Chain A
Amino acid sequence: MAMRLKGRGIRCVRGGRDIFSGIDFDVAQGTALAVTGRNGAGKTSLLRIIAGLLPAADGTITLDGGGDELTIAEQAHYLGHRDALKPSLSVIENLLFFRDFPGGTPADPQASLEAVGLGAIGHLPAAYLSAGQRRRLSIARLLVLRRPLWLLDEPTAALDAAGQKAFAGLMRDHLAQGGLIVAATHGPLGIDAQELRIGDNMSDPATPPEAGNAADRPA
């Protein structure tokens, strides 16, 4: 049975204010969904709701055709703003932890590092990496353990043009292998994706600035 991620009537309330409501989406196996919207529209919140890290005020999300015993979170990779790297551990130690701990189908760590261009420096402490390299290492996390659903929050931030191109290739590979992608993004993703624009009906210039700031807070 083909996998399908379905969201129906999702509503998000933060700090007593509606961020968005009535969001519906369908992501079929092998396709991607690009979530767009202005700053503070709730792109990150929507991803975190799908990842089970934030409760939805209303609505349901289901992943049909996935593992029956598993929650959506347990079948998803979440690539957030923060890199989840420990500076005192080496690059490969960081990666091996994310192969062994979360649970999924493990892959070859060295090959994953090479896919993001870090193959030669696996033995170095993560403290020595630049922002772009840290991002690449986070992306290697998606490769070293197979999980069908990728939840990506501004995945191409901090990547240079070559890195963005390489990452688009990795996303296409993931889709070709029957994966699903939901990505919050400002710029073009570099792959074919249906667009879900959120927060427009909620946003009007009359929004009080305090409330706007609260929603802008990175989650």
Chain B
Amino acid sequence: MTALAALFRRDIRIALRIGGGALVGMLFFLTVVVLMPFAIGPDLATLKRLGPAILWIGAMLASLLTLDRLFMGDSEDGSLDLLIMSRVPLELTCATKALAHWLAAGVPLVVITPALGLLLNLDLSTSLAVALTLLAGTPALTFTGMIGAALAVTLHRGGLLLAVVVIPLSIPVLIFGVAASQAAITGPVPFGAPFTILCALTLASLVIGPFAAAASLRQRMD
């Protein structure tokens, strides 16, 4: 347990100190949301209807953007070799790294969602509903994205390749995340079935992600 706590502390510190990406992810999210009215037009009724979808797309792209660094930094400076040689199972190492990454980069996105909802003319309850679906859904984005991050390290390629690999994996999360938000606004039952499925996706990714990422890292031939 102390080993995992040490890894968790280290990753959080790196993310929050100078050169870490926690602020940039939030800023990217804000920028994506600010861009939308320029493309769609400033009609508040349209923005209100599209609001949950815009927020979800923005959060998804922002979490994807920061995911690039999940294993890349450790791979470049040789830390990854030492993580693999640890007595801690690699699956737990991956899960801990993803959890730290989600706390440093994912939770801030959830926190600023209500403020961004205001820009899209969503009322407070809708914004909070979207934030809640993001809170439930962003771990799934991180933990499935981790598989892509591990593959990217294995192949020494990051950036766009990572996005292309990870986005298809994230589509179910997006579908049910937006559906749950819409259900929260208009549905007969608040949240309802889509939200339950979203939570199920998150729980499944919590299990599958670390195993797949660890398997991919073990195949690293360098």
> Footprint of B on A, CB under 8 Å?
51-55, 70, 73-74, 76, 78, 80-89, 93, 96-98, 100-104, 219
Contact = CB atoms under 8 A, between A and B. Distances in A.
A84 B82 contact: yes
Given A51-B81, A86-B14, A100-B6, 4 more contacts: A86-B73, A88-B17, A101-B7, A101-B88
Given A84-B79, A89-B13, A102 B87 contact: yes
Contacts of B14: 86, 88-89
Nearest to A76: B85
A84 B82 CA distance: 8
B222 interface: yes
Contacts of B2: 100
Nearest to B16: A88
Interface string B118-147: 000000000000000000000000000000
A82 B78 contact: yes
B18 interface: yes
Nearest to A87: B19
Interface of chain A, helix or strand or loop or mixed? loop
Contacts of A101: 3, 6-7, 10, 83, 86, 88
Interface in B158-184: none
Contacts, number: 81
B76 to A, nearest CB: 8
A207 to B, nearest CB: 21
B41 to A, nearest CB: 43
Nearest to A72: B85
B85 A93 contact: no
B18 to A, nearest CB: 6
7 contacts: A83-B78, A84-B78, A86-B73, A100-B6, A101-B10, A102-B3, A103-B87
Contacts of A98: 82
Nearest to A85: B77
B189 interface: no
A70 B5 CA distance: 22
B221 A80 contact: no
A126 B133 CA distance: 40
B197 interface: no
Interface string B61-96: 000000000000100111101111111100000000
Given A81-B78, A100-B2, A53 B84 contact: yes
Given A84-B78, A88-B17, A52 B10 contact: no
3 residue pairs, one from A and one from B, having the closest CB atoms:
A82-B78, A103-B87, A100-B6
Given A88-B17, A89-B10, A102 B85 contact: yes
Interface in B91-127: none
